[in-house]
Amino acid sequence: MFKHASNPRPPDAVAMSDRAIAIIRWMFLASVVVSILMGTVLFDAYQRWVVRPWLALGERTGNRIHPLMRDPRVHRAWLLVGAFLTLGVWWFLGTSAGVDFLRKVGQQRS
């Protein structure tokens, strides 16, 4: 955002609101839920509609795909470990240190 010297904004004008922090936390929680669903209940559909076409596209373009990347257990683990780590971020952003971090980052970005 452009700041003109004749019209400086006060430092607290760029502080992140509690509502914005809540929205960010809800987005992380939604990501956790989607990853857990994709790693469990929706895993077969995820394999059929996302992973297999991606692997086929890679083979058609002449790329060699490592056998580890073909293993469905790796795909499931990737989703569930990612969900666990994202849950940790969601939890951290709910602490006072996480709120302070978001507010500090919000001030630096404006």
> Is-contact 21 101, C-beta < 8 A?
no
Q: Break the chain into its structural domains and give their ranges.
A: 79-110
With 90 as the cut, is the pLDDT of residue 98 above it? yes
Residue whose tokens read 């083979």 = 59
> Is-contact 44 37, C-beta < 8 A?
no
- Per cent of the chain over pLDDT 90 is 66
38-48 residue pLDDT tens: 999 999 999 99
pTM score, two decimals?
0.76
Read off the pLDDT of each residue in 69-87 and give the average, rounded to a whole number.
Answer: 96
